[in-house]
């Protein structure tokens, strides 16, 4: 018997990265392919204590159904933390979601009609491409360059298409590691405001800065014209799938309805546990521990790249986050490199899935947070051998 699936699924494919991760799971392989936080940073004991406390003090409520918006004290905590960083958000303009990935799905649900224009970074976060593809928009892209969004391209694309939404990751972008400078943000905001384009500011990595200076949120330039996404996955624990959306009241109302239709509410047990963890511990100290760890790994990868990679290969030098981005000389395919690298027992993510419709790109994403410095040195050595074989 044949089933007629919904048309919207035609353009949504199984994550390519998933398939790569299967290959990279071989213990012989040194993998820069993953996107996982380093588990040694997880506050296992503190989560243990927080769980004990909430179940002990309020177990019958902690295990019951809850409201769609999310646990109010947790939303208040998030709002207060933003406030300290100069971002003003009302707790009632925050919705707790199953990781920020669900935020993308809900935004697509309430804002995207088929063939609506949406602007994406090039390269861009593949999870966002996947989430929005379900709603069959028309994707347009602007390149990400050293200081953020390429302004000339942005002007051109926005003028031709007047997109409803622009999705970006201004801090330590996935996949490139690039951060928009303050000046770049200001110009981008000005252009978006002219066209009433809403910026979806996805910020899972913003807290993971290990060098340089913090840059203000796009929301400080765009105000209510931003939908801001955040997550506890990279600073506490991804297994709990706790993220959030901040959006102005009018949009929030629709998001809450969509959330209710999607899954009633986010896991309340985990919301209570993470809230207890946050009020009982110093999260800034914890984040400092993570960023010091990642800084060492990043420095190691950057210097090993300088030492071993052929000079023709360019790469970014991120000031935070989990990834850097390398570019082979023109005309070489990173997919082809992947096949050669895997024979040397080293893995990465080829650039293709981070583009909407480009194949055979010469770029690749390298994750440094999941490997020890020894593995990073050995892995970059192996990878440079594969690169030399490819471009010789």
Which of these ranges, 37-45, 143-151, 206-214, 298-306, lies near a copy of itself under the rule CB under 8 A? 37-45
Give whichever of 113 and 357 is closer to a copy of itself, judged by the CB atom: 113
189 belongs to the binding site for a copy of itself (CB under 8 A):
no
- Crossing angle of helices 99-111 and 126-133, in 10° steps, is 40
SS3 call for 327: strand
| Paired strand residues for 314 | 327
Are 321 and 183 contacting, i.e. CB atoms less than 8 angstroms apart?
no
Distance CA 254, CA 356 (A): 28
Distance CA 29, CA 288 (A): 30
13 belongs to the binding site for a copy of itself (CB under 8 A):
yes
289 belongs to the binding site for a copy of itself (CB under 8 A):
no
> In this chain, which of 33, 70, 75, 109 binds a copy of itself, going by CB under 8 A?
109
185 belongs to the binding site for a copy of itself (CB under 8 A):
no
Q: What is the dihedral of CA 202, 227, 126, 372, to 10 degrees?
A: 10
Are 140 and 119 contacting, i.e. CB atoms less than 8 angstroms apart?
yes
Q: Determine the size of the site formed for a copy of itself (CB under 8 A).
A: 81
| Minimal distance, residue 307 CB to a copy of itself, in Å | 31
Which of these ranges, 46-54, 155-163, 307-315, 345-353, lies near a copy of itself under the rule CB under 8 A? 46-54
Which of these ranges, 3-11, 78-86, 153-161, 295-303, lies near a copy of itself under the rule CB under 8 A? 3-11
Describe the strand order of the beta sheet including 165-168 as a list of residue ranges: 94-98, 242-246, 226-231, 198-202, 165-168, 117-122, 138-145, 148-149
| Minimal distance, residue 291 CB to a copy of itself, in Å | 18
Give whichever of 112 and 228 is closer to a copy of itself, judged by the CB atom: 112
Which of these ranges, 260-268, 329-337, 341-349, 352-360, lies near a copy of itself under the rule CB under 8 A? 260-268
Residue 228: phi, psi to the nearest 5? -105, 130
36 belongs to the binding site for a copy of itself (CB under 8 A):
yes
163 belongs to the binding site for a copy of itself (CB under 8 A):
no
> In this chain, which of 130, 171, 226, 333 binds a copy of itself, going by CB under 8 A?
130
């Amino acid at each position: 018997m044949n089933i007629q699936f919904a048309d919207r699924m035609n353009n949504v494919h199984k994550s390519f990265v998933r398939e790569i991760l299967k290959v990279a799971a071989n213990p012989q392989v040194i993998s820069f392919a993953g996107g996982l936080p380093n588990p040694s940073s997880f506050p296992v004991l503190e989560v243990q204590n927080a769980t004990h406390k909430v179940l002990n003090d309020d177990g019958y409520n902690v295990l019951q159904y809850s409201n769609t918006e999310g646990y109010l004290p947790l939303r208040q905590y998030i709002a207060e933390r933003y406030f300290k960083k100069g971002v003003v958000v009302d707790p009632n303009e925050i919705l707790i979601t199953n990781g920020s990935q669900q935020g993308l799905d809900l935004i697509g649900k309430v804002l995207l009609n088929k063939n609506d224009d949406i602007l994406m970074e090039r390269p861009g976060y593949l999870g966002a491409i996947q989430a929005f593809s379900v709603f069959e928009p028309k994707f347009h892209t602007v390149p990400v360059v050293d200081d953020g969004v390429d302004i000339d391209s942005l002007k051109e694309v926005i003028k031709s298409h007047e997109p409803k939404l622009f999705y970006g990751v201004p801090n330590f972008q996935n996949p490139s590691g690039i951060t928009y400078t303050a000046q770049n943000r200001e110009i981008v905001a000005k252009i978006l405001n002219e066209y009433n384009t809403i910026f979806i500011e996805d910020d899972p990595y913003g807290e993971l800065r290990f060098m340089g200076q913090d840059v203000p949120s796009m929301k400080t330039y765009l105000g209510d014209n931003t939908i801001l996404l955040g997550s506890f996955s990279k600073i506490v624990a991804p297994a709990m799938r706790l993220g959030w959306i901040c959006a102005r009241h009018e949009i929030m109302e629709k998001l809450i309805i969509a959330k209710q239709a999607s899954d009633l509410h986010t896991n309340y047990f985990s919301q209570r546990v993470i809230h207890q963890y946050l009020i009982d511990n110093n999260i800034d100290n914890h984040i400092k521990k993570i960023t010091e760890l990642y800084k060492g790994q990043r420095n190691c990868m950057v210097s090993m790249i300088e030492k071993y990679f052929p000079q023709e290969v360019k790469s970014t030098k991120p000031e935070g986050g989990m990834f850097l981005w390398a570019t082979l000389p023109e005309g070489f395919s990173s997919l082809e490199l992947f096949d050669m690298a895997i024979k040397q027992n080293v893995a990465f993510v080829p650039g293709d899935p981070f583009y909407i419709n480009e194949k055979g790109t010469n770029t690749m994403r390298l994750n440094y947070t999941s490997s020890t410095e020894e593995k990073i040195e050995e892995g970059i050595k192996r990878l440079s051998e594969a690169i030399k074989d490819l471009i010789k």
